[in-house]
A = this chain, B = another copy of it.
Amino acid sequence: MSHYKNIALIGAGNVAWHLAQALQAAGHRVSAIYSRTAAHSQELAQRLPHAIPVSAPDFRGTSVDAVFLAVPDAALATVAAEVKVAPGTLVVHTSGSQPLDVLQTIAGAQVGVFYPLQTFSKSKPVDFEQVPLLVEAQDEATLKELELLAQGISRQVQRVDSATRKKLHLAAVFACNFTNHLFGISQQLLQEAQLPKDLLQPLIQETVSKAAQHDPFQVQTGPAARRDENVIAAHQHMLEAHPRYLELYKALTQSIRAGKE
């Protein structure tokens, strides 16, 4: 028996969009797409040579042997409760924040998690080879199967259980969600100073590259790290028009200082 799968996709959003094409390119056959918004499943099916949009997530009596649930976190439990499969079908979700357990309502399924650690937009091509794929399953045989599948489309495959994936998600909130907010504040300050918004891009790139190569705490620079009280006081004065950013400035400065103690 070939290890290539006959796959059904549930969801037709950003993750499903890129994942479907990566699975297809790796030699699998994406044969069915279900979305609560029929127009979305039709649009994605048109991109795939063998896929047809289906009107319900019921794959009993079909040749589908793997189902990928790529739906929003908040919808996952509800959609999972509707899924019907033949016994022994592989069913995985693609969420970083949801546990494996959420799929346990699906009778007869071999369940797992297949989490691509990246943010996707339909309009932007993705090199899936570079996307870390985090896999989890309830038994070793399913885990091996998932691993093989993942290794077919990415060079970075990692076994991560639900508890560890939660910790990873928290780390990602700091490294990505929170930094994005700081980039927003920075761009607003540039705009208010009538400076081009891309002026800091080379410095940001270098900061990211340095943090990847060293311990960021060790290469920390800036007024907080060198305890330059004059500059800190001047910055706080400049932020008086933005009390919310002033609070963040104080909290981050204090944390950097405390880390240097």
Interface residues, chain A, CB within 8 Å of chain B?
73-74, 97, 117-119, 121, 130-132, 158, 160, 164, 166-190, 192-196, 198-208, 210-212, 215-217, 219-225, 228, 231, 234-235, 238-239, 244-245, 247-249, 251-252, 255-256, 258-259
Task: Pick the contact of A97: B167, B169, B231 (CB < 8 A).
Answer: B231
- Inter-chain contact A175/B170, CB cutoff 8 Å: no
Sorted nearest first, the 3 A-B pairs with minimum C-beta distance are A177-B222, A184-B216, A175-B186
Sample of 8 further A-B pairs with CB below 8 A, known A247-B251, A251-B251:
A167-B193, A170-B239, A171-B193, A172-B203, A174-B189, A175-B182, A178-B182, A208-B208
How many angstroms from the CA of A46 to the CA of B198 in the assembled complex? 36
- Inter-chain contact A199/B119, CB cutoff 8 Å: no
- Inter-chain contact A173/B235, CB cutoff 8 Å: yes
Residues of B near A219 (CB, < 8 A) are 180
A127 nearest in chain B by CB position:
B202
Could you tell me the distance in whole angstroms from the C-beta of A93 to the nearest C-beta in chain B?
16
With most chain B CB atoms within 10 A of its CB, the pick from A183, A252, A258 is: A183
How many angstroms from the CA of A74 to the CA of B223 in the assembled complex? 11
- Inter-chain contact A176/B255, CB cutoff 8 Å: no
Residues of B near A158 (CB, < 8 A) are 195-196, 199
How many angstroms from the CA of A74 to the CA of B228 in the assembled complex? 9
What are 11 of the A-B contact pairs (CB < 8 Å)? Answer: A119-B207, A164-B193, A167-B189, A167-B195, A171-B186, A172-B186, A174-B245, A176-B200, A176-B222, A184-B216, A187-B216
